[in-house]
Amino acid sequence: MKKREIHIVGNWKMNQTLHEISEFFIQMTAMKMELKCKAWIAPQSLHIPILKEIAFTTGAIQVGAQNCSYADSGAFTGEISPAALADIGVEFVIIGHSERRTIFKEDNEILNQKVLAALKHNLKVIYCVGETLEERESNTTFKVIEEQLAVGLKNVPADKAHLLLIAYEPVWAIGTGKVATAEQAEEVHAFIRGKLTQNAEQTIILYGGSVKPDNIDSLLRKENIDGALVGGASLKAKDFKQLCTSA
Ligand code: PEP
């Protein structure tokens, strides 16, 4: 029996049409949605209200965003306000995904501002950390992650620490089909838990990187792995459902 509740979080990235979303939920419903864990999905922002509506009728999933701004409002063309996310009832936001860090050049300082802004509105935050292949090969994995945690989570108020989840996503495993071994992942998860200064034992730490129905079990057997952040496999109802029921 796991100490912490398993969370399976689908990160749909910039994918899914309205037709595909409706097919996804038709298939999920046909497979009966008795999920054994917390099932969360982060669609593209403009699809959030549609998923909220579906979540309201099925009651089975919680809906989140893939990113948010550090500002509540103002002249930030194209950005997504954490205040607006909270206002429409979004439950969580992913901050610091490696695609945000690399493609959009978001550094630990900016991510810290985003984390604090989201927490201020009582959004749950999935803060992503992880090393590149180069960093792993040069034995700097722990140093990189320590820095991502220390800067990214600076000044998190004690009364908001329960809203925080961490996702360990080795960059070399995201969308590559190369999953970290359960032992490699557990080693980093235990390290992360050891570095958390607040709420450490209760904090959900997800693994992300090419998680599929055929590799989830060995990951979830590890003490410090409390679920998964899933890209590719979360787009297919059958795989997502299978991930949520194997949990
Ligand atoms: C992700 O985008 O967070 C991710 C882990 O993707 P994938 O599962 O496709 O590797």
Which pLDDT tens digit goes with each residue over 37-81? 999 999 999 999 999 998 777 778 899 999 999 999 999 999 999
SS3 call for 162: helix
Residue 126 lies in domain: 7-246
Any ligand 1 atom below 6 A from CB of 11 = yes
**ipTM of predicted assembly, 2 dp:** 0.96
13-26: average pLDDT: 95
pLDDT of residue 247: 66
Q: Is residue 113 part of a domain?
A: yes
Q: What is the pTM of this model?
A: 0.96
In-domain check, residue 213: yes
Are 116 and 96 contacting, i.e. CB atoms less than 8 angstroms apart? no
User: Looking at the 3D structure of the chain, how many domains does it have?
Assistant: 1
Instruction: Provide CB contacts within 8 A for 49, sequence distance 6+.
Output: 88
> Domain containing 32 — which CATH number?
3.20.20.70
Distance 162 CA to ligand 1 centre (A): 24
Question: Which atom from ligand 1 is nearest to the alpha carbon of 228?
Answer: 5
pLDDT digits (tens, 9 = 90+) for 122-181: 999 999 999 999 999 999 999 999 999 999 999 999 999 999 999 999 999 988 888 889
Indicate whether 1 belongs to any domain: no
Which of the four pLDDT bands, split at 50, 70 and 90, describes residue 31?
confident
pLDDT above 70 as % of the chain: 98
Q: Is residue 180 part of a domain?
A: yes
Cβ of 152 below 6 Å from ligand 1: no
Q: Please indicate whether residue 163, judged by its CB atom, sits closer than 6 Å to ligand 1.
A: no
**Considering the domain boundaries, does residue 2 fall inside one?**
no
Active site residue 47: no
Angle (CA) 14 144 212, round 5°: 45
Whole-angstrom Cα distance, residue 76 to residue 65?
Answer: 17
Is position 131 within any domain? yes
Taking each helix axis from N to C end, the angle separating 182-195 and 141-152, rounded to the nearest 10 degrees, works out to: 40
What is the structure's pLDDT at 154?
Answer: 98
